[in-house]
Amino acid sequence: MSRYSVCFYKSGYIRYISHLDLLRLFKRSFKRVGIKLKYSQGFNPHPKMSFAQPLSLGYTSSSEYLEFETIDTYPTETIVNKLNSSMPEGLGILSCEELPASGKSLAAMTETADYEIIIPAKNVLNQDISGLIDKYISQNEIMVFKRQKKGGKDIEINIKPLIFDIEGEANENQILITAKLAAGSSSNLSPELVLASFCNFAEIQYDRAQVSIKRTAIHFNN
């Protein structure tokens, strides 16, 4: 029995499939390439496999992580090659690493994630986006409304402690924001809230459907 993690990218149209769809996709990919996963015991066995951090529908990513346990042991490059031979368009395995047989899950170790947010906007070249970002992050607190998972009520929270780094720049027709945000099960900040609160602060008009968001890294503690 061995435990591995793979790092993969998600780009193009396939960003429109959900977290659960991606989980099913990987289950089937392992079956196709003949890597036998270890199954959980019990009435309803399922393969031992999970993502470090779910990726919202519509986001692309250059660095997602999936961990899994296999019955047999493989060289890591075999896992990369096998999976890459059977991926649909827009998905690809970048690397594979063997994990200690027992130890914390990647999800439990996830601490922060980096995002790139691109907002199409006309004639923003002259705007000092970088200055606006500085002012935004220099506020004492950044209050936003967030819908609670349980109960569905909107509560107001301060997201400033969850933003570890944020920068912005503009070119002729778009604004690029890069940010390192809290991620993981203990505290997590969606880039949607940063996008909305910054644009509100800077009085930037935007259409959410035109904005693209890419996750560029997930950082773990050890």
Partner 1 sequence: MTLSIQLDKLLMRVEKPGRYIGGELNTVKKDLSNIRTRFGFAFPDTYEIGMSYLGLQIIYHILNKVDSVYCERIFAPAEDMESLLRAEGLPLFTLETKSPIRDLDILGFTLQYELSYSNIVNMLNLGGIPYKSKDRDASYPFIAAGGPCAFNSEPLAEILDFIMVGDGEEVLPQICEAHKSWKESGSDKETFLRTLAEIDGVYVPKFYTPVYNDDGKIIEIKKNYDKAPDRVEKRILDDLDLAEFPEKTIVPLIEAVHDRAVIEIFRGCTRGCRFCQAGIIYRPVRERTKETIKNMALNQLAETGHEELSLLSLSTSDHSQIEPLVEELMAICKENNVSLSLPSLRLDSFSFKVLQDIQGYKKSGLTFAPEAGSQRLRDVINKTITDDDIYNGMEQAIRLGWTSIKLYFMIGLPTETYEDLDGIVEIAKNITAINYNVTGKRGRFNLSVSVSNFVPKAHTPFQWVPQDTADTFHKKHQYLRDKLKSIKGVSFNYHGTDPSHLEAVFARGDRRLCDTLIKAVELGCKFDGWREHLKYDIWMKAFLETGIDPDFYAHRERSYDEILPWDIIDTGVTKEFLIAENNKSLREEQSSDCRLSCIGCGINSRVECTMEGIK
Q: Which residues bind partner 1 (CB under 8 A)?
A: 12-14, 16-18, 20-21, 24-25, 27-32, 39, 43-44, 57-58, 86-90, 208-210
Of the two residues 74 and 164, which places its CB atom closer to partner 1 in the complex? 74
Token pair of 53 as six digits = 């951090």
Residue 12: CB atoms within 10 Å: 11
Rounded Cα distance between 143 and 158, Å, is 4
Nearer to partner 1, 21 or 77 (CB): 21
Q: Measured from the CB atom, is 21 or 165 closer to partner 1?
A: 21
Nearer to partner 1, 20 or 101 (CB): 20
| Phi, psi dihedral angles at 159 (to 5 degrees) | -95, -5
Q: Which is nearer to partner 1, 14 or 204 (CB)?
A: 14
- What length is written for the chain? 222
Q: How far is the CB of 58 from partner 1 (least distance, A)?
A: 5
Distance in Å, CB of 145 to partner 1, minimum: 21
Q: How many CB atoms lie within 10 A of CB 83?
A: 22
Question: Rounded to the nearest whole angstrom, what is the least distance from the CB of residue 221 to partner 1 in the complex?
Answer: 33
